[in-house]
Amino acid sequence: MPKQRRLAAAITLVCALTAWAAPGTAFAAPAPNPTPTPSATASGAPPTLEEVGAQIDDLYRQAAVATDAYNLAEEQTKAQSEQIVKLAQEMVKGQEKIKRLKDQAGATARMQYRNGGLPPGAQLMLSGDPDGFLNGADLLRQGQQAAQGLLGELNRTQADLAAYSKDATAQWKNLEANRVKKEAAKKDITAKIAAAEKLQADLKEQERERLAELERKKEFDAQTAWLSTGVLKDISTSASEQGKKAVKFATDQIGKRYVWGAAGPDTFDCSGLTSQAWIAAGRGMPRTSQEQWAQLPHVAIKDMRPGDLIIYFADASHVGMYIGDGAIVHSPRPGRTVTITGAGTMPILGVVRPDK
């Protein structure tokens, strides 16, 4: 059987073992957060434009959190799929080894049959040749040791196969659980984005323009307040060589659309942009903003330099790359493109450095 077919058969075997090991197993999708809709205030008046804007922002923030969950499940799914393939390859190798060992054992049995079916010891006893008996006894001991070694190797290989099968079954269960998480996150993301887009579509043209003005003012006020603390006076403008490459990659993507779950080359979400920028600079890193915050070295804001990543919001659901002079490049949200904005326009959780 060609190796590709054997590998496919091994993967099929893993699937079958999983189904046999966990009959009736099901994974329940987590219930998505309820989608808020514009409603009247306590006084019965319709929501103000500011309140509608806050609802839209909240929906996009919830979509960003779900996007991180989706991206993490996607990364875990890829890793588990690769592990299952490796295990299947080891199972194929083990099956081939067992066949080889059994062939050797069969050859020994056939040789004994050709010698009349007598055990080697009995054949020596009947030989009538003392010198031949002594030489044969030595060969017999060697043969017995070889047979014991063959049996031990066969048992070890069979035990390895059982372990590979058990590990593959566990990996398959995790893979299926993460697929369910991905689908739940995908539904949550699309629902939140659709609700936000509907809120925007229901506004009149003048209201949309006014909402955009309010958003710009909010960002300007936040950036001004951040700068007024004197935060920039201690910040270095010197990037590392890898940091310079990461900044160049990120800024080269300006104008490309935000798409949730995307990591280039034509569209990006926030962490897709930062992770690909650092990969292009020669540094592997976590895919999601939450994992970037959890796994990468933290640095103080006063010590940050271009190329460092600024993590935003208490749940680490957004990330941008610091490029110097109090600015970041980031992929903001659905309907927007990769752009440059003030680093203080959103609540900063902290700063991480991929090349520390």
Neighbours of 293 (CB within 10 A): 21
Which among 283, 318, 333, 353 is annotated as catalytic?
A: 318
Residue 15: active-site member:
no
What is the rounded distance in angstroms from the CA atom of residue 188 to the CA atom of residue 275?
23
What is the rounded distance in angstroms from the CA atom of residue 249 to the CA atom of residue 251?
6
Q: Show Cβ contacts of residue 93 under 8 Å, excluding neighbours closer than 6 positions.
A: none
CB 41 within 8 A of CB 198: no
Task: State the first-to-last Cα distance of the chain, in angstroms, to the nearest integer.
Answer: 50
Residue 270: active-site member:
yes
Which among 59, 270, 309, 323 is annotated as catalytic?
A: 270
Which among 283, 305, 330, 333 is annotated as catalytic?
A: 330
Question: Token pair for residue 237?
Answer: 């403008």
Orientation angle between helical segments 49-114 and 130-201, nearest 10 degrees:
160
Burial (Cβ within 10 Å: 0-12, 13-18, ≥19) of residue 167 = middle
What is the rounded distance in angstroms from the CA atom of residue 103 to the CA atom of residue 224?
79
Q: Which residues are catalytic?
A: 270, 318, 330
